[in-house]
Structure 1
Amino acid sequence: MTGEAFLAFLGEYWLSIAAVFCLLLFSAFFSGSETALTAASRSRMHSLENNGDERAGIVNRLIERRDRLIGALLIGNNLVNILASSLTTSLLIGLFGNSGVAIATVVMTILLVIFSEVLPKSWAIASPDRFALAVAAPVRLFVAVAGPLSSLVNGIVRRILSLFGVSFASDMSMLSAHDELRGAVDLLHREGSVIKADRDRLGGVLDLGELEISDIMIHRTNMRAINADDPPEICVREILQSPFTRLPLWRGAADNIIGVVHSKDLLRALAEPDVEPENLDIVKIAQKPWFVPDTTNLKDQLNAFLRRKLHLAIVVDEYGQVQGLVTLEDILEEIVGDIADEHDLDIQGVRQEADGSIVVDGSVPIRDLNRALDWSLPDEEATTVAGLVIHESKSIPEERQAFTFHGKRFIVMKRVKNRITKLRIRPAEDQTPVG
């Protein structure tokens, strides 16, 4: 075909060529809209809608019926793609004869992949929220028109799948709301948008419902308490010298908790006329103890603390035996943590050695160690580091005995009776001789 003939062909079929170009633009619109609306942040759209952005409200209503939205966009995308390919094939057959079919296939594949799929979807995924807001109004109009057809198609698909025993709910999420939030926070932390301290605080809030009091309580072996049978002046001295404002009061046996003494109540009693430490009745100023089961989750216990306006509770097991105590501060520390700096080990019972290893007390909670060092040691079966070693080794290890699990090398440094009191932890690949 000569140049003049080609120009004549273009002059004759310019309308069809323009139509193909417009159809490619529509295809790009449908592809980009599908990607943007499915990737848009629902929380951000909700926030924008509350601030008066009408476009965000449209996006939220479109996302609410995601199956209808995607079905309508796919119908529109396929319609324009098929029509564009048909027009192009017809044009090229007229220009090149029967070989125009093969040429049209190659040309349209390249054009559709680049300009109707990869380019708009890459643009949409780069800024999904902005793209979604821009296309919200025209997409709503199209969904209003094609929506019934989309619902019909979805109904047919569901019926076909039901024949094979497959059923699904459009509003069913694979993850719980807490898992969704935790995943989002972890992702933002990896991307650098959320610092480690904020991630730990948010994670602490989300974990409250999954942790029990037994996971964070002060065990009875470490619990500071006052013996009501001691002379009053000794009780007063112990309370005033204690770093704690509240101390359990026991009588006869350490498990027999009869009250909780608040240092302010003690000071008020001592301020009364004619009251001296020697003649003070410590039991009278003690508050009634509050006993809680060790299986209570931290979320419920936090609400109970706030509702009762108390700060300390005695923890008991299913047999009523005292296991320890828990305070409001213990629960709050699960949220805010006790790390002063992201790079400093400001956690009691943990010390970093010059060789890079970590020396920890056996009683250090696994959660605190994970939070301080950004580790991921499991805490489902054990609460403390010593408990984890015992659980994994299925024994009470001897001193200088070493174990490797979860990517770490655990070396028992000190054991008192059956309690592991000190361990050294280093990376598993570091096999420096124990010394």
Structure 2
Amino acid sequence: MLTEILIVVFLTLLNGVLAMSELAVVSSRAARLRVLSEQGNAGAAVAIRLAENPGRFLSTVQIGITLVGVLSGAFSGATLGARLSEWLELQGLSNGAANALGVGSVVVIITYLSLIVGELVPKQIALRNPESVASKVAGTMLMLSRVAAPLVWLLDASGKLVLSLLGQSGASTGTVTDEEIKTVLAEAQSAGVIETEEQAMISGVMRLADRTARGLMTPRRDVEVVDIEDTPEEIRETLRKTQHSRLPVRNGNSDEIIGVLFVKHVYDAITAGNTPLDIRTIISEVPIVSDLASAMDIIQAMRKTPLHMALVYDEYGHFEGIVTSGDILEAITGAFQEGDEEEPSLVRRDDGSFLVAGWTPIDEFVDKIRVTTEADPDYTTVAGFVIAELKRIPELGESFVKDGWKFEVIDLDGRRIDKLLVSPASEPDI
């Protein structure tokens, strides 16, 4: 009887190893396995091979689990159950009661042990460190798949056939979404692996890749320009007041930008005694990009000019704004304050509401306040979001409710939405 008990215990442990191996390989991250493989872990390389062909691997594991289940059931019911029934009958129980109690007790005990030792505990071990477990069991699983190759092939082929009948014949895409990456970053930040500032910058890089020139540029109305028809005195006064090192040059009252003036070049010309000052001779050309150009395309274009600037035009040839290296950096790290009068884009107040500037990029706003937006919106700012929701230019004090938040226009600069008050639409139920 002791031998039979040891056999059942061994089968239960074997079932646990198979269950642990299955979950470890399936839940392992390929990137981590590749790192372990590059560090010389042969088991990790085998685990990658198993994960690349999940049909064969799962068939191998299922064969083992099924055989273990059959053998365990046979020993528990036919052997241990019968022996316990005989012993109970010797203790004075009737034949029917002894059989029912003996077999039932053995089945309950074996089932309990199988759930704890053969399933739950091994799977929890696998989930805690799947890559390490997968690396250790991969060799054994590969050997088992070779031993049972004919049966594995049959099960794998049968499974693929059924999947094709269900319209699932295509391979798994295995894509990783932005939300999953952000979740991993949040977990890394919570665990202290990366700093909060590092998480914010990585999220900024991800947002940057999704932006277009319209979402990065300084709009035309906020761009300081030098008029080609200005007098030298007017140009000097403009350069004295500006905080920028380079300014676009406009051709009179037209919408045409004929180049960019580097402030240093003006002072160099003045120092060299070039009078009268003719800025036409020191204007530099910069790349021109579409307002729909991606951030990556803009960066490539800006790398080709020492001024690190690009002019943005729409499809009709109208000047829309400029993009500088500073705009790219601000998209990653957040806006830099350039003057005492400049206000932050979003401020949280004591009552839980937010004071939001209309020019706040919509992707940064959504990261702070979870509101639903279009998958590919035509707007790039919170002001554009408000106009899209109302389908018109709002009046001062006008408001609407979206996803539990009340958006109220509290300041207009002409027709431009300057400030918004975003507050919870109602108090949560207690």
For 1:430 and 1:393, how far apart are their aligned partners in 2? 24
| Pick aligned residue for 1:362 from 355, 358, 363 | 358
**How far has the Cα of 1:395 moved from its partner?**
2.9
The answer as to whether partners of 1:259 and 1:289 remain within 8 angstroms in 2 is: yes
Are 1:63 and 2:62 matched, yes or no?
A: no
SS in structure 2 opposite 1:363? Answer: coil
Are 1:427 and 2:424 matched, yes or no?
A: yes
The answer as to whether partners of 2:345 and 2:357 remain within 8 angstroms in 1 is: yes
| Pick aligned residue for 1:378 from 373, 384, 390 | 373
Structure 1's unaligned 5+ residue stretches are 1-9, 341-345
The 5 Å alignment of 1:6-405 reads 10=1, 14-91=2-79, 92-96=81-85, 98-99=99-100, 100-163=102-165, 165-173=166-174, 175-176=175-176, 181-189=181-189, 193-272=193-272, 274-276=273-275, 279-308=276-305, 310-338=307-335, 348-370=344-366, 373=368, 375-376=370-371, 378=373, 380-381=376-377, 382-405=379-402
SS in structure 2 opposite 1:253? Answer: coil
The answer as to whether partners of 1:212 and 1:296 remain within 8 angstroms in 2 is: yes
The answer as to whether partners of 2:356 and 2:420 remain within 8 angstroms in 1 is: yes
The answer as to whether partners of 2:219 and 2:322 remain within 8 angstroms in 1 is: yes
Give per-residue Cα distances to partners, 1:82-133, cap 9 Å, x unaligned: 1111122221124426535544433332221111011111121122233223
**How far has the Cα of 1:188 moved from its partner?**
4.0
Give per-residue Cα distances to partners, 1:356-415, cap 9 Å, x unaligned: 4332332222234445x4655637433222222221122322222222213322222122
TM-score (norm 1): 0.84
For 2:121 and 2:222, how far apart are their aligned partners in 1? 64
Amino acid at match of 1:285: I
SS in structure 1 opposite 2:238? Answer: helix
1:270–1:315: structure 2 CA closer, same or farther, 3 Å change rule?
same
1:88–1:43: structure 2 CA closer, same or farther, 3 Å change rule?
same
More deviation in 321-330 or 221-230? Answer: 321-330
For 1:396 and 1:136, how far apart are their aligned partners in 2? 63
Are 1:414 and 2:402 matched, yes or no?
A: no
Amino acid at match of 1:114: I
The answer as to whether partners of 2:411 and 2:419 remain within 8 angstroms in 1 is: yes
More deviation in 224-233 or 191-200? Answer: 191-200
Give per-residue Cα distances to partners, 1:262-289, cap 9 Å, x unaligned: 12222332232x225xx11111111113
For 1:247 and 1:43, how far apart are their aligned partners in 2? 46
For 1:354 and 1:102, how far apart are their aligned partners in 2? 65
Give per-residue Cα distances to partners, 1:292-327, cap 9 Å, x unaligned: 111111122223323555511111111111111111
Tell me the number of residue pairs that the alignment of Structure 1 and Structure 2 aligns.
Answer: 408
For 1:74 and 1:36, how far apart are their aligned partners in 2? 15
Measured on the aligned residues, the alpha-carbon RMSD in Å equals 2.8
SS in structure 2 opposite 1:111? Answer: helix
1:199–1:149: structure 2 CA closer, same or farther, 3 Å change rule?
farther
For 2:372 and 2:307, how far apart are their aligned partners in 1? 33
1:416–1:334: structure 2 CA closer, same or farther, 3 Å change rule?
closer
The answer as to whether partners of 2:312 and 2:322 remain within 8 angstroms in 1 is: yes
More deviation in 396-405 or 242-251? Answer: 396-405
The answer as to whether partners of 1:338 and 1:347 remain within 8 angstroms in 2 is: no
For 1:74 and 1:303, how far apart are their aligned partners in 2? 52
Aligned residues with identical type, % of pairs? 29
SS in structure 2 opposite 1:249? Answer: strand
**How far has the Cα of 1:179 moved from its partner?**
6.0
SS in structure 2 opposite 1:360? Answer: strand
More deviation in 405-414 or 114-123? Answer: 405-414
For 1:15 and 1:349, how far apart are their aligned partners in 2? 75
SS in structure 1 opposite 2:256? Answer: strand
Amino acid at match of 2:204: G
1:429–1:243: structure 2 CA closer, same or farther, 3 Å change rule?
same
For 1:268 and 1:114, how far apart are their aligned partners in 2? 81
**How far has the Cα of 1:349 moved from its partner?**
4.1
TM-score (norm 2): 0.85
SS in structure 2 opposite 1:252? Answer: coil
Structure 2's unaligned 5+ residue stretches are 87-98
The answer as to whether partners of 2:8 and 2:72 remain within 8 angstroms in 1 is: yes
The answer as to whether partners of 2:287 and 2:301 remain within 8 angstroms in 1 is: no
Report what 1:3 is aligned to. Answer: none
Amino acid at match of 1:401: E
SS in structure 1 opposite 2:303? Answer: helix
